[in-house]
Chain A
Amino acid sequence: MNTGEKALIFELSKPGRIAYSLPACDVPEAEAASCIPASMIRQVPARLPEVYEVDVIRHYTELSRRNFGVDNGFYPLGSCTMKYNPKINEDTARLSGFAHIHPYQPVTSIQGALELLYTLQNDLAVLTGMDQVSLQPAAGAHGEWTGLMMIRAYHESRGENRSKVIVPDSSHGTNPASATTAGFETITIQSDAGGMVDLDALRAAVGSDTAALMLTNPNTLGLFEEHILEIAQIVHEAGGLLYYDGANSNAIMGITRPGDMGFDVVHMNLHKTMSTPHGGGGPGAGPVGVKSKLIPYLPKPIAALRSDGTYYFDDDRPESIGRVKPFYGNFGILVRAYTYIRTYGPEGLRQVSECAVLNANYMMHRLSSHYDIPYPGVCKHEFVMSGRGLKAYGVRTLDVAKRLLDFGYHPPTIYFPLNVEESMMIEPTETESKETLDRFIDTMIQIAEEARTTPELVTGAPYGTVVRRLDETNAARKPVLNCSCGI
């Protein structure tokens, strides 16, 4: 790997080079000046680089070599569920009949696509224990917002003005942000000493203004909320609804379902649980499922089946919250998720969760004598450790994360959840072998040892990466957000 500075594509530019091949114009050329007013015509061409095809290939190939994906190595990024992204998913999504169809084609010409959507809606409804699913949201946070907008519509339809959404202090940041975007006020409640929802705090927080409680279960600490039925009862008795953040679904497939726990609305992150690739930050998909009383509010449209066996889009939904996204969601991602589900079937998905949970408990157990485990017991598919024991040597969790880079690992999620000091959140997933887990554990133990004996080795890490630690403070203080390079 080249560890020198990498040129920007703009810096490779040389006037006169091209990387494109366009057809000659076989119709009379339209003179822009004759069909568009001069004031609307671009005065200065966009300063795009002038390079040839090999430049483009080498540039992006080199960028890819400076990037770490699941195919490069272990990626135990808690809450992000970085499992293996099966290759077949990519092949099916690229089939021409999926990749090159238009959302406004006559429905007679897209029956296969509609069948896929319809089947996926039903499969996800069964998996989550919900009555109906919309595939439209583009990401988990988008699903949260969609779900909250439905909760809002539900309360409004009953003439109730419920303005508050309750979230635990360990919740994902998207929960309160989505609540605000949906026009709610957020109430944060503290977790109890065991890391669970504090039932007394919850009882004190709910009231006639409660719209919903947002919860993930297993929760953000990797723990299953054992009192979930009681939680549901408290919220429901206050007239609120229960929202399930599906970020942690990988732990429970086929074992328990949010719908059976008392949740009224759920989103799933297909880019986590259903193995669709994260793409360096998207695209994702965050379908939402609801119990029957919320079906009228689902966003438009829904894939539906007529009695004659043909599929169509049901747009006739007068009580719907409306449209949350153009067209039918991130279809290409939905094809990948559907492909994945069919590689396992229901029993296979259950096995996925069992293996993910066993891997996480095994790691937690082996690491427990070297790092603080603030919430021991059984965890689900992920667990939280604390690096606070290393502070005595001047080593922080950030340093441990950077040191891991030198051993070829992507670090765990760090400094989240917020309610654990110096937290590290580790999620091995089911697609990692015992050998990989053992090697990673041994490395973590070695780093803990290094922290005690040669702390400067850890605080100076990483050493083997294309850049060393970066000045993030100055990046925010004096932002340079594009190259403005003036080719």
Chain B
Amino acid sequence: MSALVVALVVPWAAGAVLCLLDGRRRWVGWLAVAALVVNLVALVALATSVLQDGTVSETTGDWPRGVGITLRADALGALFACFSSFAVLAAMVHEVLDGVRERVFPGLVVLLATGLTGLFVTGDLFNFYVFFELAMTAAYVLATYGGGRRELSAALVFTAVNLIGTFIFLLSVAGVYHVTGSLDMATIAERMTFVDPAVAVMIAIGFFAAFSVKLGLFPFHFWLPTVYTGARPAVAAILSGGLANIGAYGLLRFGGELLPRELEFASAGLIALGAASVLYGGVLAVSRRSASEMLAYSAIGQVGYVLMAIGVGGPVGFAAAILYTAVNAVNKTLLFLTAHMRGGIVAAAFLVGALSVVGIPPAAGFIGKLELFRSMADDPLLLALVFLGGALSFVYALQVYQFDFWRSQRAGRRSRWGQQAVIGVLALVVLAGGVWPEPLLSLSQDAAAALGGAGP
């Protein structure tokens, strides 16, 4: 069995079994953590083999190629799968140490990881939809975790909005099948060049709307603050560190590989939307005093950068978008997990995360910002925007740090040592990414190259 199959099948089977067990028992939680560890190890093995020997693909059930469903892992998918899985694992360990409160939580988190893994390694458009639904359905239920009234109404908004996004996605899938007669991504990318531009633009708009809802981009963001502040820290970390990556991946895969002409056509619009997101998220985050609200609005601002980098396009722009998404996922996981904790290590870890969001050198966020600057070096207006966004993030990140850790002691009991260790490890990963950025840089360039050298 190859690493690809192990990475997909182990969490799948484990998730199905775990849903039947009582998740509040400690050993069930650790079983879920073990399944996620296997998933992550297999994904790392997969990523190393992909980076050395190129794309790994597998056709299910020994069907001939073109008939069976293909699983295909290239550098882009493997990289996204690795850091999404890492973020989910960290949040899961954090929650198990605190004590799980609902029966189905461990099973759902493992199923969400299955959906994420499958989505990043599939080469089939409809299969993408199915894995997408698997991950999203788990997320809808996770959003109710805790069971308070606030969580429930947030989950209802989240589910309703995302379902509509999903069906718009399905409409676009139907459109693609109608005009190309294929569901295999590589075949679609070839045949898309012969399609009538007007039709292709319609399809592209559908995909864009669906992924923007997931990403929480400016005009589609309205569900995001309610959900991220309503949910428990571990759930918010899973949603923003793991699930939100679907949006960035989808825009890169569908925009960069399947519809490169339409992406180029829309680049000015994408940059404008990204800039609006950066400013809107930044300004609203400055006006918030509590850490979780600040983080929710900051998330809107951060994805704006990703969209701007995708809009700029080309190998440099795509590499910057990929790198920034990776760094941002780890950052967001770290910050959301610290949002309701207290203690010395927590303060230090929060500071590292805040510095990383701002983009100050020892943290990994600096490398992300540097790549963004590099990709937008030709345009002084964009540079000014990125700089302004950075200044806003400096204000809000340090403002919350000051309120939460300098002025007043947070209410509540002191956090457990195990949990502090988890966020300590996350903070060290952020620092390591900033001190030794070469692997991250070359990985993101490989991943951008996997998009087939799309763009200029």
Co-assembled chains A and B: no
Q: Please list the residues of chain B having a beta carbon within 8 angstroms of any beta carbon in chain A.
A: none
Q: Please list the residues of chain A having a beta carbon within 8 angstroms of any beta carbon in chain B.
A: none
